[in-house]
Structures are given as C-alpha cells and as structure tokens.
Amino acid sequence: MSEEAKMWAQAEQTTFYQLTGSDVAVRNLKLPADFIWGAATAAYQVEGAASQDGKGKSIWDTYSHSVPSRTNGENADVTCDHYNRIDEDVKLMKSLGMETYRFSIAWSRVIPLAGHDDPINEAGIAFYNRLIDALLAHDITPSVTLYHWDAPQALYDRYGAFLSTNEFRVDYTRYARLCFARFGDRVKSWVTFNEPYIISIFGHLNGSLAPGHCAEAGNNTMMEPWRVGHTIILSHASVVQMYADEFQPSQNGKISIVLNGHFYEPHDAAKQADIDAARIRLEFYIGWFGDSIFLGKDYPASMKQYLGARLPSFTFNDLELLKSACSKNAFYGMNHYSTKLARQLTTPADEDDWTRNIEESSVNSKGEEIGPASSMPWLRVAPGGFRKLLNWVWDRYHLPILVTENGCPCPGEIDLEVAVDDQFRQRYLGLYLDSISQAIYEDGVKVEGYYAWSLMDNFEWSSGYGPRYGIVHVDYGTLKRTPKNSAYYLQETFQKRRKDQV
C-alpha cells in the first residue's frame, strides 16, 4: 500500500464530511491586507443588446436560437441588459464595496466579422471605454477577459475557428492587439481565455455548449477537442508574447489565463487504482493546459500515453514559444466550485473517451456524499478540496493565484424572498474564504484575490435562466437588481478582515 493509501486508511475514524471540510462552521479567518475582492461576469451572459450598435453574431447567439432548443427555450438577447445599464451596475458595485470587476469583451461586438482584415466596430469599442471609465471613476479596478466562450460565428462559418490553429491564431492575435491598444492604458489585468477545458470538451465533444459539436452531429470527437485545446494553448502563448513585446513595457499590465478545475478525491481511498485516478483526472483537467502554459513543457505523460495520435504534437518552434511565454504569465487564474470523486473503471471505454476511463461522482465507495448539494447536483460544498487544489496548483506551477470564479446557486432559490435570504450561499462563501486563509497562512500558498461568481443572476448557458449564481438578484421581467444578503456578507467580511490586519 502506498503512503497516500495509508493516509486515507488512517482517516477511517473521520467522517467524509470532516475529511472534505464541509461540516465545519465558518470561522471568518483573516486574509492579507492587500487581498483584493470583487465579482465576475461574462459578456454573453449579462450584456444583452444582441444586435445593437453593429454587434455581430457569436456562436452563442446561434446556439441559443437552435431548434429544437438546447438552452431550455431561452436566450440572452436581453438577459440583464448590462450593455444599457452600466452606470446603474457600476454604482451598485461601488455601493457593495467591490474593489475589482472581472468582465469579458465580446469579440463580435468590436470586430463583428472577427477576421484580421475585417472592419472594427467603433460603437463596440465605445461601450467598453464607457464601462472601463465608469469603473475607474468609482475606484473599481477593471480585469478583462478577452475570450469567455463566445467566438464570433463568422470564424466557424469561415474555417471552423479553433479547428484551424494557424488561421485562428492570426485572427485572435489581431483582436487581442486591438484590445491592448484601445484599452490597455487603463486596463492592467488581462486574461486571454476563460476555461479552455470547457471550450474543448463541452463545446467540441459532448456538445452541451456552443458550438455544440458532438458525435451525433457528425463531428470527429476523437480528434476535435484536442485540436481545440492545442489551438488555445498556442494562441495564448502568441498573445502573451506579443503583449510582453509590444505593450507591457509602456502599459505595465499583467496577463495570464483562467483554468477551471474540480479537486479530485479517490472514490475508494483503499484502492491504489482510485488514488491514481484522482491524480490523473487533475492532469487531464488542469495539467492539459497548465503544464504547457505555465511550465513551457509538453503535455503530461499520462495524456500522451493514453491519447496517442489523438493529441496534437508541438513543433520545435511551438515549444520554444511556450518556453519563452511561460515566464510572462503573471498569475494563475483559478475558477473552482466543487470537489469530485474519481473511480477507475475497468470496462472498455468509448473510442472518444476523454477521461482515461475514469468515472466522476459525488458519493464514495461507502455511500457517503462529499458534501451538501447546491441547486446543481454536481456542485457540492467541499471547501477542504478547494484548499487542496490551491496547494496542488501552487506546488506545480509556483505562481500567485487569483480565484477568478467561485460561488454557487442556492437550493430553492426561486422567489425574491428566498433568493435574498441566501444563507446557503453565505455559508458556502464563508467556508471557501476560510480555505483560502488556511492555504495562505498554514500552507504558504500565495493567493492574491477573490472574485465571486457572479455579480448578478444571469443567463446560465445551456441551463437558461434556471440556476441563479448571482450575489445580486435580477428580476428578468423588470430587470430590477436587488442585492442578496450574500453581497452584504462579502462586503462586511472583507471590511472586517481588512480592519483586523491594521
């Protein structure tokens, strides 16, 4: 039995909730005085104004209008109408004490046809200028994501977008250069891509997110997701290098990428196969992108061994670019919501399997749940797993961590009264903030900030308007914003934690 297996065996007298940390009380542990906090959104989820002022179509405009519907019969043509309500929304952020706001730019709003020779939409540029200026006028730091899942439809129509690595890199680099040139005098924090794992797997293998590629639709799901991931890695590196060479010396900003990931515990803590499965799921989920982007290395050995020719190869020049660009990533952007259990299967895998035949669940071999469920069954309260993931990322990549998304939808969050008194969310946020404190002060992990997901209820992709992740309630009929108690909890807890550091 390995040392790791012995550790798990010794934990037999501890309940599973205690092991993952989900049964403990919120302690409101201290955080550093310079720790920043805010909230995050994504353009397609909140902006609305789907065709206003010259905006072009994105893949989500297409996907959310598919027949039959893939988004619960709903779309984000209006959603929160953030495009027309930025003054109201920025004042709301200020009233809640937010120090920073992470938002994304809609590529098809600033370059409707998206290509390197296509016209710029100055109305779209003007919108983001207004938003950035309003934030700065209220002492809120803008943090900008260049790509949050909403590729211009024109790129898929023209050449398959991510599926054509060289063409996409050229178009994406031109788009990024435009954003740096127009906004970089005021924006000092940039993210190239949000959650490349989701773009690759959910968009190009199981088809549950735009553009909806899947085997049933005739797509080559054995190869597509790995090509998409390859394109993202090289596009990120090209843009990071370009930013460092052309803009960073004068603008003094920082740039990186945001990777999402669960933490994984073994389904059966006494089985070496499941212990190995938990490690391998982290390599397939996070190491897939992180090892190349942050270490300048090839793909993890476990991926190369299992996927073989399905995984694209880096050329010598690719690896030289990755080695050069990796040192220029200023932080690790972490989106994290929950922890899962990994179980190694022995039955034959599908030919397009992307997990190394590992099953994920929320219940262990003894029938114990990993934590209480939110309104999304997969999202369980397991702050102990969050602390372990912070340590895993720090040990592997040695970069300061920004928690760029974290939050949950509450059970029963339907009417306004229940939504505002969101005690489930307050406890979740408190426990996860405590895990950050423990990782910093007890484990030596460098964590620099925290963005709650999300600023407000919004269009939740394929789930439509069902799950509500916001710390501000949105009435989708009137678009009235009402802060939930979790918004005030965050405001008060960060004020108190900061005072405690003085």
The yes-or-no answer on residue 405 being catalytic is: yes
Residue 255, classed as helix, strand or coil, is: strand
Q: For the beta carbon of residue 10, count every other beta carbon within 10 angstroms.
A: 10
3-state helix, strand, coil in the chain (%, to 5): 45, 15, 40
The yes-or-no answer on residue 195 being catalytic is: yes
Please give the span between the terminal C-alpha atoms of the chain, in angstroms, as a whole number. Answer: 48
Phi-psi sector, 207: left (phi>0), alpha (psi -120 to 50), beta: left
153 in Cβ contact with 198 (< 8 Å): no
22 in Cβ contact with 382 (< 8 Å): yes
C-alpha R_g of the chain:
22
Which is the catalytic residue, given 47, 167, 224, 405?
405
**Which residues are CB-neighbours of 63 under 8 A, at least 6 positions away?**
70, 71, 209, 210, 211, 212
Where are any strands of DSSP class E within 148-253? Answer: 189-194
472 in Cβ contact with 487 (< 8 Å): yes
Alpha carbon of residue 340 to chain centroid: 17
Task: Tell me the C-alpha distance between 80 and 88, whole Å.
Answer: 12
Which is the catalytic residue, given 47, 195, 265, 283?
195
Active-site positions?
A: 195, 405
